[in-house]
Structure 1
């Protein structure tokens, strides 16, 4: 079975601009974050696996705890959102390199038709969020008899 990922050139361009702004220390203002093309500050790596009974979604969230993450399912879309805060800086310390991303993130995944949206279970251990979505029998189309007059 082949998975197809839809290419979104605008999101790639926005990601490039965000990286550029972070590299040169250019701050984003609130207006930018509400813009139509705005994206998250960073995006956690996600693996999606399938077993005969369920789909597993594993998201790497190092340095975070379960209270920093919110998982929702609405209209067939699984959303993972949260925020990783930067550690309070001590004035006596110099940063020579900061490569980790901080700030808010949002990942969304369209669920296939053969899942039970109410079965989502989440666990969080050692910075790894694991979501399990149980498969359901595909719904059979309902035939409706049309009366001709």
Structure 2
């Protein structure tokens, strides 16, 4: 079983336990693992980043599943789960529901992921800039550019993103 398969299985296991605990909502995959999902594993992330409003429930579930706390990370074997507190990256609760092996996983919208990644790009991380370009090319027809332009806060990021969009044409 690949690392990605193990990570997806871990997410599904966490979802099942959160549902058993009575929660009607599920965590949202964010950060570099969301990028792994959107690139279908071409960009492998070492850890799963989850965003969930009930941090106590998420931590309880992780503990019951045998994960051990190491700061914001919970580790079990070769699986590391980051409990993200960056609620601002999903300003309007936008996420995609992606089917994986018959189960639905919530993943931050590609638009919000791109907005979040753009901060690293304009800080000088060329690898992230190249990943943004790749995502724009791959998902160009499906991306809501109006949403991005409306919600991107940094003027430099906006200018750079418009350059990336221009490359689509």
**What TM-score, normalized by structure 1, do the two folds share?**
0.29
**What TM-score, normalized by structure 2, do the two folds share?**
0.27
* Higher share of residues assigned helix: 2
* Higher share of residues assigned strand: 1
Higher relative contact order (CA 8 A, sep 6+): 1
